[in-house]
Amino acid sequence: MKELLTPKKLFIRTVSALAVLAVVMLACSLIGTESISLKALFSGAGTQESANPDYEIFVKVRLPRIILACLVGAALACSGVVFQALLRNPLADPYILGISSGAGLGVIVAVISGLDWIWGRSPIAFFAFAGALGTVWLVWFIGRLTGKFHVTGLLLAGVVVNAFFSAVIMFLTSIAKSQQVYSTIFWLMGNITEESFLVVWLGTGCVIGGILALFYISPQLNALSFGEEDARSMGVNIARTQLIAFAIAAAITAVAVSLSGLIGFVGLLVPHAVRLVFGPDHRQLLPLSGIVGAIFLVIADTLARVIIAPAQLPVGVVTAILGGPFFLVLLVKYSRKVSWLK
């Protein structure tokens, strides 16, 4: 018998998940090549930074990076939820529609062209955002041209565009200078770095706004998960819901990619894990996936910082290593209890 989701249960689960996230953020902020004392940290909150290195490291280095990891993890996880619902494909993730290749192409164009900094920021972020967003809208346009078989058209268009842009990336990489190739490849593997608070808060506002908008249309996403005919019989405007959900998911993914590079597995693993444990209702699947995605990426980035310290691993490598076995354990444990669409 299916468990009925009530507002009280949703509230308790969301608050509990946020509490776990807060604990993880605090714990990970104390871990690093330089240890931080909680006593020294709190005692120096109102003193000069030069007199309290623990406070300076926490506020200027680790806190912005941890918030950025939360932002990227939540964006990728929620985008994965949406694309799996729209495409009715449990293997869909934020990169299935060519977002990765579009962002990568934008980055390598920025690196090879030798552009200087734009508005105090590396051109990589701007070109990655433009490439990701432009590619996903190209895929949407091609998918719309297929008419009736819209979902199939989107998937095929994504595969073709992804393959074509990947070939262009390989060509440009082969003619680039060695240092340009290294910086591009490191970005493509995913990399969370320290950012200014302005960049962090702007990105956070965009992502949280997008997630809230997706939560607002979560009942329509529930209907779409059963198929277009069933959703239409429930009074759902199929085209409008698909367009809104697709646009928001693509936008927050582009924001995440522009800030962190290509971090795989989060958008595939986290929605699956949350769905297997709590069920497929998007009213809870979206917020819980966002929070769990933030927790997962904060832990992964902390491991990337300390495993080979003082050097750092690309966080995308860590998410792949952690995500594979963890997903298999969840799948075996819960596959007999919950199915993807039931």
Reported confidence tier of residue 187, pLDDT bands at 50, 70, 90: confident
Judge contact between 203 and 73, C-beta under 8 A: no
* pLDDT tens readout for residues 154-176: 778 888 888 898 888 888 878 77
Of 94, 91, 114, 90, nearest to 179 (Cα)? 114
The Cα–Cα gap between 83 and 97 comes to 9
The three-state secondary structure class of 150 is helix
Q: Which residue do the tokens 């691993």 mark? A: 313
* Residue predicted with more confidence, 330 or 186: 186
The Cα–Cα gap between 46 and 154 comes to 54
Of 212, 215, 221, nearest to 240 (Cα)? 221
Of 218, 339, 341, 338, nearest to 290 (Cα)? 218
Of 261, 320, 321, 323, nearest to 292 (Cα)? 323
Reported confidence tier of residue 3, pLDDT bands at 50, 70, 90: low
What's the mean per-residue pLDDT of the chain? 81
Q: Which residue do the tokens 């939820």 mark? A: 81
Beta-carbon contacts of residue 30 (< 8 Å; ≥ 6 apart): 36, 38
Q: Give the pLDDT confidence score for residue 40 in this predicted structure.
A: 61
How do the domains of the chain map onto residue ranges?
Answer: 35-334
Q: Which of 73-77, 88-92, 159-163, 252-256 has the lowest mean pLDDT?
A: 88-92
* pLDDT tens readout for residues 59-80: 778 888 999 999 999 999 999 9
Q: What is this structure's pTM?
A: 0.86
DSSP 189: T
Q: Give the pLDDT confidence score for residue 210 in this predicted structure.
A: 93
Angle in degrees, CA 173, 174, 180, rounded to 5? 45
Q: Give the pLDDT confidence score for residue 310 in this predicted structure.
A: 78
Judge contact between 25 and 298, C-beta under 8 A: yes
Given a cut of 50, whether residue 114 has pLDDT beyond it is yes
Q: Which of the four CATH numbers 1.25.40.10, 1.10.10.10, 1.10.3470.10, 3.40.50.150 does domain 35-334 have?
A: 1.10.3470.10
Structure-token pair, residue 93: 């993730």
* Percent of the chain residues past pLDDT 70, beyond the cut: 84
User: Hey, which of 117-121, 122-126, 233-237, 249-253 has the most confident mean pLDDT?
Assistant: 249-253
* pLDDT tens readout for residues 31-57: 877 777 666 666 655 554 455 677 777
Residue type, position 149, single letter: F
